[in-house]
Amino acid sequence: MTNKHQAGFTLIEILVVVVIISILTVLGVQMVSSGSVERNLQQHGRILQSSIEYSCDQATLQNIPHGLK
């Protein structure tokens, strides 16, 4: 019998690499999506703040009471 050395990767090694890449991909997607949610929330907060300031300015110009209920 001859002892042949075969170069290559085993199925287990390939599966381990695929699992690691999958985990890193999922974590990366979650980080990107959570960042976009935060930016979206900040943008809506600024819009709300601008709307409140505009309402206060209009009430002051028209000399009517203003407030939030």
pLDDT at residue 19, as a whole number:
95
Whether residue 56 contacts residue 46, with contact meaning beta carbons closer than 8 Å, is answered with no
| pLDDT tens over the chain, length 69 residues | 566 777 888 999 999 999 999 999 998 888 777 777 788 889 999 999 999 899 888 888 898 887 766
Give this prediction's pTM. 0.49
* 40 is a domain residue: yes
* 10 is a domain residue: no
* 15 is a domain residue: no
> Residue type for 50, please?
S
pLDDT at residue 33, as a whole number:
75
The size of the chain, in residues, is: 69
DSSP secondary structure string, 8-66?
S--HHHHHHHHHHHHHHHHHHHHHHHHHHHHHHHHHHHHHHHHHHHHHHHHHHHTT---
Whether residue 67 contacts residue 57, with contact meaning beta carbons closer than 8 Å, is answered with no
Parent domain of 52: 28-69
How many structural domains compose the chain? 1
* 51 is a domain residue: yes
pLDDT at residue 40, as a whole number:
84
